[in-house]
Structure 1
């Protein structure tokens, strides 16, 4: 495990298109028209004077949010690795990523306000959503819980701050915007990630670097709207991080999972749909991914009740083509337990369909 790195999503970035876009923007100014240049010079001075005032107001907003929230963001040492976490309540519960805690059960932490080393123990890790809760052995005076916002109110274009410990630099802050919402992202599992498929993630341009995982993505109201978890990787640049493409688990899901862990010691209601099978990706005679072979069917589960058997090959879920186990996980992430979907599969070379009422993961 390398919890100092945010998990990497392999994402092909259209670099050429980005370069063209930048070139077009830089060429939008009209340097060839003296008339237009003159008109710009005669703009009222009040407009020019307003800009510094607006900049000052925004800076003040940033600084207030940082003062309010940064004390609730901690640095976590899990074995030899570093990550971040967010104080969830006044009882010393800390929420972070499951890939940050890894296989460790005990942890050392520091807060933004003190260099004193605190100790904590694992309450429960839930790799399927890449979330975990740990608890301080002793709650220090002045420990402040963060305020978590409503993910449904997050909008593209909102200014956000990412807080955490990138590269071990504790209490660091980066700034960006919400680039998109509702992203479904699958983590890599080969380099310490959980391999989870996570729906409804918040995409942000705020820099997410190694060590930011488990920290806080915060709006200008001082509310945590997500837990930074993933940074995209551009294979065209030698698998280096793709600048400005990061993902955070939405706050509403964080609260749902954390509340269950604190109350019951585990996740009792995941809200994640499942076929109740064990499967693997199969390839065709040209070695291309061609579906998901059912290796095992859970007795009494969703697939079993619909007549799907071990050896069947799933090729479609509803209208979505299924070629790999990852594509099946991503398709299921868009559904909820109890939804009815049509599963297309092959058995002995013949195509069949079954209406399946989805179970819960």
Structure 2
């Protein structure tokens, strides 16, 4: 996890059924890039509705040299990718999705599908709504796959790029159905990579997110964040709102699940009907937040520890207070989850902790969370 990674905490009573149109999430931030007092909103649903994995290619696009070439590039990318972006109706809520393969699988956000099992999908190319059914929704990474039950004559699967090659400053387009305005496109740049964002204590923590300045509005969730090589590099999921501006959207702060995570999980859902490997790192502990001087959060105390788990094998024990992981400060339960979200299973990581008010460090080989 990088310095300045935003943290999300759920605001009670403000999230809709599908965590979409009315849902606000409080944003806290630390470090040099602090975004104090902002709110994050799941970009999800805008309200009442009006087989084989996708190919992967390097996510490097040639940089246009003049404004005319840039415009031509935008128009080419829109023509290439927009036919792959669909509108999903889940009950009384609306969101976006991306056609994943020719068998009719579509990837979207778990908060877009909510608790629904059946959906109506409208292709960007028009026509009547097509029925679809849920394959699997993986809440821990806010990702879901649905499948069309009736295949049209021709589908236009997207090409997923290598999100690990994405660089800050790269031009991107966001495609989806914001506020029910189907087949809409916004543009921006990649603002940061490797962000970890949390919806709050006890809620999902999403790791390795791509931050973008492209506008992400309600209804964009599950759509496509695309580079100028016509490759999907992420699935837009979160947008920022600022309570100091009356809850208006804070422009230029959006987050997308990276393509590498999308393909890793979607392939499992399609093949197995569920996620079998989470790819998420764990310490093997149950923790609680402890307070320090001034009643400020001061660490994550180990309440329970998994026998023979990563932390226990490294010598940690109940009562120890974790204060840092992989060089990232840990002040509470949420910040520990965020730090872990930036790590990988089987990775050796330094953990700093207090035992009887004395500082210690341990090298921990992280485990993998159950799916």
1:121 paired with 2:129, answer no
Q: Is the 8 A contact 1:6 1:212 kept in 2?
A: no
Matches of residues 33-44 of structure 1 in structure 2 within 5 Å?
none
Select which of 289, 299, 304 maps to 1:296: 304
Select which of 153, 169, 174 maps to 1:141: 153
CA distance in 1, matches of 2:148, 2:297: 46
Shift of 1:255: 1.0
Determine the structure 1 residue equivalent to 2:190.
178
CA RMSD after TM alignment: 2.6
Determine the structure 2 residue equivalent to 1:38.
none
Shift of 1:215: 0.3
Determine the structure 2 residue equivalent to 1:109.
121
Shift of 1:342: 3.6
Determine the structure 1 residue equivalent to 2:173.
161
Matches of residues 187-198 of structure 1 in structure 2 within 5 Å?
187-188=199-200, 195-198=203-206
Determine the structure 2 residue equivalent to 1:25.
none
Shift of 1:117: 1.5
Shift of 1:184: 2.4
The gaps in structure 2 that reach 5 residues or longer are 1-17, 36-64
Matches of residues 44-63 of structure 1 in structure 2 within 5 Å?
54-63=66-75
Determine the structure 1 residue equivalent to 2:102.
90
Deviations 1:299-331 (A, max 9, x none): 442223334444443223243321111211122
Shift of 1:243: 0.4
Deviations 1:265-320 (A, max 9, x none): 22223322111223232323633112223343334422233344444432232433
1:3 paired with 2:15, answer no
Select which of 299, 314, 330 maps to 2:338: 330
Secondary structure at the counterpart of residue 129 of structure 2: strand
CA distance in 1, matches of 2:126, 2:19: 25
Q: Is the 8 A contact 1:9 1:185 kept in 2?
A: no
Secondary structure at the counterpart of residue 334 of structure 2: helix
* Greater C-alpha Rg: 1
Cα distance change on mapping 1:188 and 1:290 into 2, 3 Å: closer
Determine the structure 1 residue equivalent to 2:230.
222
Deviations 1:323-352 (A, max 9, x none): 111211122123221223343334565655
Secondary structure at the counterpart of residue 291 of structure 1: strand
1:287 paired with 2:295, answer yes
Secondary structure at the counterpart of residue 116 of structure 1: coil
Cα distance change on mapping 1:294 and 1:225 into 2, 3 Å: same
Normalising by structure 1, we get a TM-score of 0.80
Q: Is the 8 A contact 1:6 1:229 kept in 2?
A: no
Shift of 1:353: 4.7
Determine the structure 1 residue equivalent to 2:254.
246
CA distance in 1, matches of 2:24, 2:158: 24
Q: Is the 8 A contact 1:233 1:239 kept in 2?
A: yes
Q: How many residues align?
A: 320
Determine the structure 2 residue equivalent to 1:260.
268
